[in-house]
Amino acid sequence: MNNLKSMLRNQLHGTNWLFTGLLLVLLQLAQLELVHAGNQLETTQVRQELLTREFRLDGEVEAIHKTTVSAQTSGIIQKILVDVDDYVEKGSIIVHLKDLSQQANLKKALAGEKEANSHLSKAEDEYQRVKDIYAKKVVAKAKMDDATHALSAANARLESARANLEQAREQLSYTRVKAPYSGIVTQRHVEEGEAVQMGVKLVTGVSLDKLRVNVNVPQSLINKIRVYGKAYIYTDAAIGGGQVQIQVEKIIIFPIADRASNTFKVRLDLPPGIKGLFPGMFVKASLVTGEKQVLMVEQQAIVQRSELTAAYVVAEDGSIQFRHVRMGNINGLLQVVLSGLDEGEKVALDPIKAGILLMRQRRTVPAND
The confidence score (pLDDT) of residue 212 equals 94
Q: In 3D, which of 44, 37, 47 has the Cα closest to residue 320?
A: 37
Other beta carbons less than 10 A from residue 28's beta carbon: 13
Segment 229-258 mean pLDDT: 82
pLDDT band at 41 (very low <50, low <70, confident <90, very high): confident
310, amino acid identity: A
Domain boundaries, the chain: 54-64+207-291, 99-174
Assess whether pLDDT exceeds 60 at residue 150: yes
What CATH number matches the domain at 54-64+207-291, 3.40.50.300, 2.40.30.170, 1.20.120.1690, 2.60.40.10?
2.40.30.170
Q: Is the dihedral of CA 236, 237, 240, 245 positive or negative?
A: negative
pLDDT of 294 strictly over 70: yes
Higher pLDDT: 243 or 208? It is 208
Confidence of residue 104 (pLDDT cuts 50, 70, 90): very high
pLDDT band at 37 (very low <50, low <70, confident <90, very high): very low
Provide the 3-class DSSP secondary structure of residue 144.
helix
pLDDT, residue 28, reads 52
Of 7-11, 139-143, 264-268, least confident by mean pLDDT is 7-11
| Rounded to 5°, angle at Cα 245 from 243 and 249 | 150
Between CA 8 and CA 256 the distance in angstroms is 105
pTM exceeds 0.75 for this model? no
Fold matches, 54-64+207-291 and 99-174: no
Q: Is a pLDDT exceeding 50 seen at residue 192?
A: yes
Domain 99-174 falls in which CATH fold? Answer: Helix Hairpins (1.10.287)
The mean pLDDT value for 161-166 works out to 94
